[in-house]
Structure 1
Amino acid sequence: MEKLVSSWSSNQHLPEDYVFPVEQRPGEETTIPVCKAIPIIDLEKASHGRKDIIQQIIDASQKFGFFQVINHGVSGVLVHETMSVVKEFFTMDDAEKASVYSDDHTKSCRLHTSSPNYDTEKSHFWRDYLRHPCHPVEDFIHLWPEKPATYRDIVGRYSVEVRNLSLRILDLISEGLGLEPGFFQGELSNDLLMSTNYYPPCPDPSLSLGLPKHSDPNLITLLLQEEIYGLQVYLDGQWLGVEPLSNAFVVNIGHQLQIVSNEKFRSVEHRAITNSREARTTIASFISPCNSCIVEPAKALVNEANPPLYRAFEYQEFLKSYVAKAGKKETALQAYKIEVKHH
């Protein structure tokens, strides 16, 4: 428990093992613009302008690998309650959080700090996190925190809503790619892992990171963030800030969707910066294939002119090598790429 940043960080200098090498430091946050170009997609319009919304999603997934959705059908009250109960969890006394804290990274529900590679990483990340599986809720809810008393009820309802929303978005994506209806349902989107992140105020945000530059290994991620800036996307050689919008979800394309789409879509690197003024809380929902699912480029997207760019593999095999390579994009994908011969 004493490792948790929130346990010791107030009124402290930045410890040496939280200072990043010069080339990885975020520097002054003011030099990174909040990007107004990252698309904001109004899902309510899908009921009468479905083709247009699908096109917006396809364009955003190709160009940015990121977009935000508003009017998404998840109740604003539930979104607010979920963020509140998660913040309440992180601000409880250490003694109350101790039952879910663990240094064992194989434990499915655990509170920890920095990353699963804490013992081997050169620089620690300025965050505490709680992660646990969520689907189906009834299989996992008994592992979740018992305090705050409303945590299980609220987060349980939220995780069901977010999963439904992700399946709606995946249906629009499969239609846009020309795949059969329900293509992503079943094994490809079977798992939902929730990671709630708590970034306490940091004494020197220019030297530290909440999360390093990485791409997500899963299929698709839905992120709920407070209206506090902290998410940055690495696009075409430069960092861009993602505007925090009230009651919106940031959607980003994971490696598996880049692979299934045969690189029509891109999984884009991103990071979390910290600030010195206030704590920031985010809730990431990772939609993933089940461990034994065979992932490969969709057959409908592959032909003589567009050969498959990746070999088939079991998702658990990918995940293992992704963790070993600490999420670095090119090295994570390299082992699964097929060399395409140009005639």
Structure 2
Amino acid sequence: MTTFPELDGKVKELKEFDDTKVGVRGLLDSGVAKVPRIFIRPPESHDPEANKTTGDDGSNSPLPQVPTIDLQGFDIPSRRAEIVDEISQALGTWGFFQMVNHGIPTGVLDNLLRSTREFHEQPEETRMEFYSRDPTRKVKYYSTGDLYLTKVAQWKDTLSCDFDDTSKIDLESFPDICRNEIGDYLNRLNGLKNLLAELLSEALGLSRDHLASLECFDIQRLLCHYYPPCPEPDLTIGIMKHSDPYILTILLQDDIGGLQILHKNRWLDVTPVEGSLLVNAGDLLQLITNDKFTSVEHRVIAKRVGPRRSVACFIYPRNKNQSKPYGPVKELLSDKNPQIYRETSFNEYVRYYASKGLDGVKALPHFHLTSADS
């Protein structure tokens, strides 16, 4: 049997880091001034040139920006039609858009970002109580979700909260320091989620209740990320290149920056907009829309400044619907737009996605319809 001593040693170092249960923040607290080798990312030889800042013609023309959509007036028919068209264009071309005037007060967003920082900057022994990789645990803290699969640690720590029904959230299970802030945000986000389900349905040319009727548009997970300042940011990564396996992601981020999306084979910075929320399509949305909306790859780079804080909310089917088959919406199919993907359940899709890890290769092509399926 062939062994790889260097890899075996790295796995040992990964486990030693994980066993500390204090994350990247704990490394910095211990005085680490250099990035440990478990955080050094492999060369992304198949990636476009990182941080490219010139136009396609080599000029210094400004790079394009993720569209910002103002939701104010969504209940006025003429304005709603404009918003629906903007969403259709954004998700079809970019896979992302930023929302302003979305109805959630800036104070609620600021409180959530503040409490996220406070959780991650608590004394180590307090954080350690929540540290776990148990998939059945609803509320847990960890560093790098797929640590042992990718064999590379990423420069971030995460508080993860899972729930099956946001109307029956057990706030007592959340850490004291951010319990009320998470609950307040989720209560308000529910209404915005329902509005987005309507607007996206209309952007597809469907009745406004269509996506909701598919029973796939539920808030299921909230991740509170913390990216400490990095002493050698060029050697590591905050989150590796990936697309999301869900229907939709709604992201709150602070003003530090670092999120990049892959647009037309180029990495572009997503400039934070004060008071905004960022929306991106997930793989399952691209599948059910038959490529009408696109799930775009993105990453977070490490930075010397920080900490960067972000809160990602994932929308996908509730537990009882996760074995239900989902395929391209039949109303979107025609001779000119034939079915691209086979039906799959959320559970099947996520199992395949998780088995790959964040390896820089999209999972969605694995579910392309073959001649044997048709």
In structure 2, which of residues 184, 191, 195 is the aligned counterpart of residue 164 of structure 1? 191
Displacement after TM superposition at 1:134 (Å): 4.0
Per-residue CA shift, 1:54-94, capped at 9, x if unaligned? 11110000110011000100111111111111111111111
- Residue 93 in 1 paired to residue 149 in 2? no
Cα offset, 1:331, TM superposition: 4.7
Aligned partners of 1:166, 1:272: CA distance in 2, in Å? 24
**Correspondence for 2:154:** 125
Contact 1:35-1:243 at 8 Å conserved across structures: no
Pairing of 1:247-262 with structure 2 (within 5 A): 247-262=275-290
Provide the C-alpha distance between the structure 1 equivalents of 2:48 and 2:127, rounded to a whole number of angstroms. Answer: 33
* Cα distance between partner residues in 2 of 1:244 and 1:25: 27
- Which one has a bigger Cα radius of gyration? 2
- Closer/same/farther in 2, CA of residues 37 and 331 from structure 1, 3 Å limit: closer
For the residue of structure 1 that corresponds to 2:150, the secondary structure is coil
* Deviation at residue 308 of structure 1 after TM alignment: 1.2
CA–CA distance in structure 2, aligned partners of residues 25 and 310 of structure 1:
25
Q: Which amino acid aligns with 2:265?
A: G
| Mapping 1:183-198, distance limit 5 Å | 183-185=210-212, 187-198=215-226
Q: Are residue 111 (structure 1) and residue 111 (structure 2) matched? A: no
Out of 2, 20, 23, the position equivalent to 1:2 is 20
Q: Would you say the 8 A contact 1:309–1:340 is kept in 2?
A: no
Q: Deviations over 1:231-256 (max 9, x none)?
A: 00011211000001111011101011
Match of 1:306 in 2: 337
Q: Identify the match of residue 46 of structure 1 among 69, 74, 79.
A: 74
- Please list every run of 5 or more consecutive structure 1 residues that lacks an aligned counterpart in the other structure: none
Q: Residue 214 of structure 1 is aligned with which of 242, 245, 258? A: 242
Judged with a 3 Å threshold, the aligned counterparts in structure 2 of structure 1 residues 35 and 223 are, in CA distance, closer, same or farther, namely: farther
Give TM-score, length-normalised by structure 2: 0.84
Matched residue type, 1:174 = S
Residue 333 of structure 1: aligned partner: 364
TM-aligned CA deviation for residue 312 of structure 1: 1.3
Distance 1:255 1:202, change over 3 A: same
* Ranges in structure 2 where 5+ consecutive residues have no aligned partner: 1-18, 55-61
**TM (normalized to structure 1)?**
0.91
Alpha-carbon distance, 1:108 to partner: 2.6
- Which aligned runs of 4 or more in structure 1 are off by greater than 4 angstroms? 24-36, 327-331
Structural RMSD (CA): 2.4
| Aligned residue in 2 for 1:238 | 266
Q: How many residues align?
A: 338
Which position in structure 2 is the counterpart of 1:20?
Answer: 41
Summarize the Cα distance change of 1:338–1:227 in structure 2 as closer, same or farther, 3 Å threshold: same
Shift of 1:271: 0.1
Distance, in Å, in 1 between the alignment partners of 2:48 and 2:294 is: 26
Q: 1:179 aligns with which of 206, 209, 217?
A: 206
Distance in 2, Cα, partners of 1:180 & 1:327: 35
The alpha carbon displacement at 1:328 in A equals 5.2
- Structure 1 CA distance, aligned partners of 2:71 and 2:119? 31
CA distance in 1, matches of 2:183, 2:251: 16
8 Å Cα contact 1:41/1:57 also seen in 2: yes
Amino acid at match of 1:312: E
> In the alignment, is residue 56 of structure 1 matched against residue 86 of structure 2?
yes
Q: CA deviation at 1:119?
A: 2.0
For 1:228 and 1:152, the matched residues in 2 are separated by 24
Question: Following TM superposition, by how much is the alpha carbon of 1:136 offset from its aligned partner in structure 2, in angstroms?
Answer: 2.3
Deviation per CA, 1:224-281: give whole Å up to 9, x if none.
0001111000112110000011110111010111011110111000000111122101
Indicate if the aligned counterparts of 1:25 and 1:209 stay in contact, CA closer than 8 A.
Answer: no
